Amino acid sequence: MSFLYQREKETAIRAVIAASILTGRIQNDLIGKRSIQKEDRSPVTIADFGSQAVICKILNDAFPDDPIVAEEDSGELSKPEHAENLLHVTHYVSVSFPRVSSGEVCQWIDLGSGPVSFRYWTLDPIDGTKGFLRGDQYAIALALIEEGTVRVGVLACPNIILNSHEGKEARGGLFVAVRDQGAVQLDMTGHSSRKIKVSSVNSPPQALLTESVESAHSDHQLNLELAEKLGILRPSVRMDSQVKYAILATGEASIYVRMPSPQTPDYREKIWDHAAGSILVQEAGGKVTDAVGRGLDFRCGKRLEENYGIVVTNGLLHSTVVNALGSLLP
Ligand code: AMP
Ligand code: MG
């Protein structure tokens, strides 16, 4: 058994669990008060910032020399008009860190403004904001990258529905992968580890395709044409966030295709939207590339500048999907 990245893995799990307790509370509190509305971004703002503060603090304590490249910074939150939001964030962060001040919260959030380097962490404190606001699927995604390759990935999916061994449904799961050490699923407390692997589906008609809920985030029409071309029989499953990678890694779905929406044809994917999810699927036996079969390159900055679109499969279907997609692209 390899112990390479053991401390990184354990720290990342601890950080993501602490953040998911915070985001779960916020989602519950706000849904309980019926105050989650699409136009009102404040709940997600609080959860984003709180999650980022907690994770950056825990990572920085354990690995003070590692840069963290995270989605948020404290610029907006520090403005006087957001004083109340900052108090809310501080309140939720104090559940993990009693007596924390608002100033410290902002400092911890800004630990996430590090540079893309030889070795760095990347974090999406709430992936799938729109899903979070709907009270639906979202993820907390943390990954360690070295030399442009993801080495450790931890994905918390607090609202995922999982089939347990006894045939009962369970809610919430942590997904953890270390390069060359496989992928596992844990419960939300970090226990009950079980190895996971991708599906063994080798003919497209049996495959389940997953895609974003938001039509602004990927080309739904193209996916429809792709499914038709491949003879996929079942309708696609739409889900927010990197939970899509998790259902690929557990074998529930076999194909995830994300091509830029016609509304944003030049969109380049963000590193934190794919780092944790991609290693999870790879270590579960699957394959992750861009639309033309190139591996994802995490050396270019905050965006995957060298990649166009994302194709994720169980591996067995990969070349079939990439070829079919190629025939549909201009
Ligand atoms: P999903 O829930 O899979 O639709 O993905 C959520 C992620 O989509 C967010 O974390 C954003 O970073 C990302 N996103 C935002 N705008 C776009 C866009 N125009 N195209 C693709 N992804 C986007
Ligand atoms: Mg995201």
Written as one letter, the residue type at 222 is L
Question: Mind listing the pLDDT tens digit for each residue in 312-330?
Answer: 999 999 999 999 999 999 8
Q: Is the C-beta atom of 267 inside 6 A of ligand 1?
A: yes
> In terms of pLDDT, which residue wins out, 178 or 330?
178
Which residues are catalytic, by number?
Answer: 48, 129
- H or E element at residue 156: strand 149-163
What's the pLDDT at 12? 98
Q: Nearest-CA neighbor of 320 among 197, 199, 200, 203?
A: 203
- Of 170, 175, 315, the closest CA to residue 242 belongs to 175
Q: Give the Cα separation of 222 and 245 in Å (integer).
A: 20
* DSSP per-residue string spanning 19-88: HHHHHHHHHHHHHHTT---SS--HHHHHHHHHHHHHHHHHHHHH-TTS-EEES--STTTTSGGGHHHHHH
Q: How far is the CA of 126 from the centre of ligand 2 (A)?
A: 6
Mean residue pLDDT of the chain comes to 94
Strands 149-163 and 139-146 turn out to be: antiparallel
Span 14-18, average pLDDT:
98
Q: Which atom of ligand 1 is nearest to the CA of 264?
A: 19
The closest-lying atom of ligand 1 relative to the alpha carbon of residue 127 is 10
- Among 269, 5, 279, 273, which residue's Cα sits nearest to residue 153? 279
Token digits for 309? 């679109």
Which atom of ligand 1 lies at the shortest distance from residue 211's CA?
3
User: pTM of the entire structure?
Assistant: 0.96
| Residue nearest atom 5 of ligand 1, based on CA coordinates | 241
Long-range contacts of 39-42 (CB under 8 A, 24+ apart): 41/133, 42/85
Q: How confident is the model at residue 35 (pLDDT cuts 50, 70, 90)?
A: very low
Of all residues in the chain, what percent carry a pLDDT higher than 70? 95
| Residue position matching structure tokens 């038709």 | 228
Range 28-38 average pLDDT: 55
Ligand nearest to the CA of 127: 2
Mean pLDDT score, 6-35: 87
DSSP code at position 113: B
> Which residue has its alpha carbon closest to ligand 1 atom 7?
128
Structure tokens at 235: 């309708």
pLDDT band at 195 (very low <50, low <70, confident <90, very high): very high
Model pLDDT, residue 40: 54
The reported pLDDT for the residue numbered 130 is 86
H-only helix segments in 69-197: 83-93, 102-110, 129-133
Q: Find the mean pLDDT for residues 125-136.
A: 89
In order of 76, 131, 163, 275, 311, the CA distances from 160 in angstroms are 31, 12, 10, 19, 22
> Residue 37's pLDDT band (boundaries 50, 70, 90)?
very low
CA 240 to ligand 2 center in whole angstroms: 9
